[in-house]
A = this chain, B = another copy of it.
Amino acid sequence: MVLMKREATEEQIQAVCAAIQEHGLKALVLPGGERVAVGIPSAIPPDLRPVLDQHLSAMDGVDQVIHITRPYKLASRDFHPHDTIVRVGHVEIGGGRFVVMAGPCAVESYEQLSEAARAVKAAGAQILRAGAYKPRTSPYSFQGLQREGLEILRTVAREVDILTVSEVIDPRDVDMMAEYVDILQIGARSMQNFPLLVAAAKSGKPVLLKRAPSATYDEWLGAAEYLLTHGNEQVMLCERGIVPIDRTYVRNTLDINAVPVIKYHSHLPIIVDPSHGVGHARYVPAVALAAVAAGADGLLIEVHPHPDRALSDGVQSLNPEAFAHLMAQIAAVRAALAPLTTK
């Protein structure tokens, strides 16, 4: 809908109508008390929306173009009412199933990863997380073991018999990484790295798409739409915290609202990362349980066999004992809510 300025002339209103009709759409003048609006009572093809928006926004006499359609379509539950179920090996994610992905922030050594993998599997995690390529704010921080890290990850995963997820940060690495891991993670800093999204989509691998720390829901689902339009339907969304009011006590603000909002508007599974979401191990269990109770489809949790020796994110990593206790709590909450869930 196009809201005209209060002082818009009849010629300007007619020009807007004509511009709409040029695009093969209907235009409907809505005389208001203070100002006129022009509605478009027909379906606007997704690819026409931004063009139309541009044209109309910049016309004389136009105050504002109000969107009542979303920048995404394939990601919307309107067009795909049933939950998408992502399949990774024998594990199903979404549609009521629940998955836990856990492990260290980064692969540091065979010993460290092996110990972590055994611990998280023993506690019930189905997927091992561990980074080989680490995007870090400072170039002086540990950047990951890279290719060597992937080798270790694959070796450990086979030995322990567990699936894996790991972050890819460069489109040139996508095909190579697809050989090593079961799920490609797109990190928060890469959410709108469109060449990377396209490459990940084309790999055919399941993708875990983290939300950028200041992304709106529309921007996040728009990023998912890049994956979907390039033919990859195996997409999971991951909430990992947004920019906080203050960093004195936390690293990010986990947006718990995202769980019900995304589930209502999209059919894609939503995973929550409480480790980055709050940023300190002592708060992680509370936030993880909150996500479970809110209806998340899974969790991504940092677990390190020796957090005080971790090369990155030690402060927010659970140790294996704390993780095992949390897994018991998660199971209890899910069991309690199952009979009371309404559709």
Expressed in whole angstroms, the minimum distance between the Cβ of A283 and any Cβ of chain B is 4
B139–A222 contact, CB under 8 A? yes
A311–B253 Cα gap in the complex (Å)?
A: 32
Interface residues of A in 52-71 (CB under 8 A from B): 54-55, 57-60, 64, 66, 68-69, 71
| 15 A-B pairs (CB sep. < 8 Å) | A33-B42, A37-B41, A55-B308, A57-B314, A58-B281, A58-B315, A136-B194, A137-B192, A171-B172, A214-B243, A215-B245, A257-B278, A260-B283, A292-B293, A325-B342
* Pick from B47, B217, B259: contact of A246, CB under 8 Å: B217
A69–B6 Cα gap in the complex (Å)?
A: 11
Kindly state whether residue A162 has any CB partner on chain B within 8 Å: no
A249–B225 contact, CB under 8 A? no
Chain A contacts to B: CB under 8 angstroms: 1, 3, 6, 28, 30-35, 37, 39-44, 46-47, 49-51, 54-55, 57-60, 64, 66, 68-69, 71-73, 78, 135-142, 169-172, 189-190, 192-195, 212-219, 222-223, 225-226, 229, 242-250, 253-257, 259-261, 264-265, 277-278, 281-283, 286-287, 289-295, 307-315, 317, 325, 328-329, 332-333, 335-337, 339-340, 342
* Pick from B286, B312, B314, B336: contact of A260, CB under 8 Å: B286
* Pick from B71, B328, B339, B340: contact of A138, CB under 8 Å: B71
Expressed in whole angstroms, the minimum distance between the Cβ of A275 and any Cβ of chain B is 12
Interface centre among A193, A257, A340 (most CB of B within 10 A): A257
A43–B31 Cα gap in the complex (Å)?
A: 9
* Pick from B192, B218, B257: contact of A135, CB under 8 Å: B192
A215–B242 Cα gap in the complex (Å)?
A: 12
Expressed in whole angstroms, the minimum distance between the Cβ of A173 and any Cβ of chain B is 8
B290–A216 contact, CB under 8 A? no
With contacts A42-B33, A57-B314 taken as known, whether A247 is within 8 angstroms of B249 at the C-beta atoms is: no
* Pick from B49, B59, B169: contact of A195, CB under 8 Å: B169
A195–B37 Cα gap in the complex (Å)?
A: 37
Q: Which residues of B contact A289 (CB under 8 A)?
A: 293-294, 337
Q: Which residues of B contact A73 (CB under 8 A)?
A: 140
Q: Which residues of B contact A57 (CB under 8 A)?
A: 314-315
A329–B338 Cα gap in the complex (Å)?
A: 10
Q: Which residues of B contact A315 (CB under 8 A)?
A: 54, 57-58
With contacts A193-B189, A253-B253, A337-B332 taken as known, whether A259 is within 8 angstroms of B245 at the C-beta atoms is: no
A71–B3 Cα gap in the complex (Å)?
A: 16
Q: Which residues of B contact A249 (CB under 8 A)?
A: 217, 261, 265
A57–B105 Cα gap in the complex (Å)?
A: 15
B245–A261 contact, CB under 8 A? no
User: A247's closest neighbor in chain B, by CB?
Assistant: B246
Q: Which residues of B contact A137 (CB under 8 A)?
A: 71, 192, 218-219, 222-223
